[in-house]
Chains A and B, each alone.
Chain A
């Protein structure tokens, strides 16, 4: 079948193309089970070599090909043609500066992520056997969901609060913080809660729920943000996530 791609393009280096514009490409012999990423490759390889996009693993693991496909944030490598139909609209994710075509500058996004101390903090000496710091399965379950994040920015750039205010730390950074805040072995949880209770921290979340369906890893993003809010309200993570809710 034929599929029409309408792609949002922009190239600040070429006169006349500095401003964003739409360009259409028609692809023949498309299979319904073809992936959007492959179709973008075909356009680049067969029709217009200047089309720029970012991708790396191409299998939904690295998180580098987030884009807005038919109005919603998706990974191009995880979307099939049959999921979106014969007219496909592709544009860069919103809220980060566009470098070229579908490529955005991810640095502001990573800066927010770095703010929440996304690393394990525990200054106690390692266990006597020199191996892992053990924890119960139930404790591990508390943050299992938030370990799945691949930092693709689909959630953060689907958030109207983030569109309006780029200083808002955003869903992805909060999920990143959640992964360590609710880790019983970590010792910097209170510091992270302090960071996130800043005016541009979790309180900019208006519980809109755009982030949750945008996540290609099915992380319960709004739930994680809600748990961080409650932990800040209580001043502790105790009892915020009930064991029976896990899983």
Chain B
């Protein structure tokens, strides 16, 4: 902890050139994106496994605090992508180093140029949602915020679970391996093909992720933001319209349309999302491992807990996210989401659409929500 405090304080005090600030931003944006990634993968897998929870999670994301977070997320992804490309260039062409500070400025300018229209588009969705499509009562906005925080609380429990698992793993590993190999060092430290692999993987995966994540962001956050995921619109990247299966459009139906859409006999979005999931999870959690191990080098046990934590959470995301993408999807999930949708309408103080009310009244397995 002292190392972290010292490093943060001295990074602010040292008058490094722009490269230092690029690095600071790269770390902050990277850690921010990774934290969102954990929420996002688990939440999205709920669309398949627990449709009612997914509806509530999306409602939480449509609340004001997460709206601000989404703007931050898009900034973080865009900056991290451009600066990552800058780092890859100077790592593979070190002789170009004289241009690094111009490149750092270029990254900032490029980020702003890209973000200006993107933020305008996103703001348009927010305005449409709050002032045109929905009439959320003013006094209910805080309720929605509180609700959204409570909805995401299970992640704290999940994180504590992962931390406990990481501590146990680290302890077991310590018993097997002793003090971490520090005393096992012979004349020279051991060469590690592992770190050499990860160094190259971070750069290759980073480059591969850029087009994937930009397409994903454009479709899911700009063309159709989180606010359109519950709107009666054609689902971006498919030919289906949300709300044609269930009584009203739902986030679950949105996911259903994407993941059952086929072109040339291939589930294009499932394949796309699978590539994105694997690359981003490995890139993100190895990056987190870099950050955590940088600041925990003073204590081998805490360092090992950090590594285990990244491994555990990364593995959980790959398994859960992978399962949601690879297992067959039942059409039933669309109707399972409707009861929860009615709850959201009540919470926001909005009138429940007649179609939804009629469906719930005549439905025998969608009740029990009151």
Contacts and interface: CB of A to CB of B under 8 A. Distances in A.
Interface of A: 68, 70-72, 94, 115, 158, 160-161, 163-168, 191, 193-195, 197-201, 203-204, 206-210, 212-213, 220, 222-227, 229-230, 232-233, 241-242, 245
B17 A213 contact: yes
Contact of A209 (B20, B190, B200, B293): B20
B11 interface: yes
A161 to B, nearest CB: 6
Contact of B196 (A160, A210, A226, A232): A232
A222 B97 contact: yes
Interface stretch (B85-93, B125-133, B250-258, B334-342): B85-93
A210 B352 CA distance: 59
A172 B339 CA distance: 64
Contacts of B90: 207, 222, 226
A160 B7 contact: yes
Contacts of A209: 16-17, 19-20, 97, 100-101
A194 B195 CA distance: 12
B294 A194 contact: no
Nearest to A195: B188
Nearest to B27: A206
Contacts of A197: 191-193, 195-196
Interface in B79-117: 87, 90-92, 94-95, 97, 100-101
B177 interface: no
Contacts of A199: 189, 192, 194-195
Contact of B189 (A115, A166, A206, A220): A115
Interface in B161-178: none
Contacts of A71: 13-15
B120 interface: no
Interface size grouping (class) on chain B:
35 or more
B94 A198 contact: no
Most buried by B among A164, A167, A226: A164
B6 interface: yes
Contacts, number: 124
B288 to A, nearest CB: 14
B199 interface: yes
B4 interface: yes
A195 B191 contact: yes
B3 interface: yes
B11 A115 contact: no
Nearest to B89: A207
A164 B23 contact: no
28 contacts: A68-B14, A70-B15, A72-B15, A94-B14, A160-B14, A160-B20, A163-B10, A164-B4, A167-B297, A168-B297, A191-B188, A195-B189, A195-B191, A198-B190, A206-B23, A207-B91, A208-B20, A208-B23, A209-B17, A209-B20, A209-B101, A210-B16, A212-B97, A223-B97, A226-B91, A226-B94, A227-B94, A242-B95
Given A115-B188, A163-B6, A167-B297, A210 B19 contact: yes
A194 B191 CA distance: 5
A9 to B, nearest CB: 17
Nearest to A70: B15
Contacts of A168: 297
Interface of B: 3-4, 6-7, 10-11, 13-17, 19-20, 22-23, 87, 90-92, 94-95, 97, 100-101, 188-196, 198-200, 290, 293-295, 297
A163 B15 contact: no
A213 B17 CA distance: 8
B192 A198 contact: yes
Nearest to A68: B14
Contacts of B16: 72, 158, 160, 208-210
B200 A233 contact: yes
Nearest to A209: B19
Contacts of A223: 94-95, 97
A210 B20 contact: yes
B17 A163 contact: no
A215 to B, nearest CB: 12
A205 B293 CA distance: 13
Contacts of A161: 294
Contact of A198 (B13, B191, B198, B297): B191
Most buried by A among B17, B193, B200: B17
A103 B80 CA distance: 39
B191 to A, nearest CB: 4
Contacts of B11: 160, 163
Given A167-B297, A168-B297, A212-B97, 18 more contacts: A70-B15, A71-B15, A160-B10, A165-B3, A165-B294, A166-B297, A197-B195, A199-B192, A201-B189, A203-B199, A204-B294, A206-B23, A207-B91, A208-B23, A210-B14, A222-B94, A242-B95, A245-B95
Contacts of B6: 163
Contact of A164 (B92, B200, B294): B294
Contact of B7 (A68, A70, A163): A163
A161 B291 CA distance: 10
Contacts of A195: 188-189, 191
A198 B185 CA distance: 11
Nearest to A214: B16
Given A197-B191, A210-B20, A164 B91 contact: no
A198 to B, nearest CB: 4
B149 to A, nearest CB: 32
6 cross-chain pairs, A with B, having the tightest CB-CB distances, nearest first: A226-B94, A209-B19, A71-B15, A194-B191, A198-B189, A165-B297
A22 B253 CA distance: 64
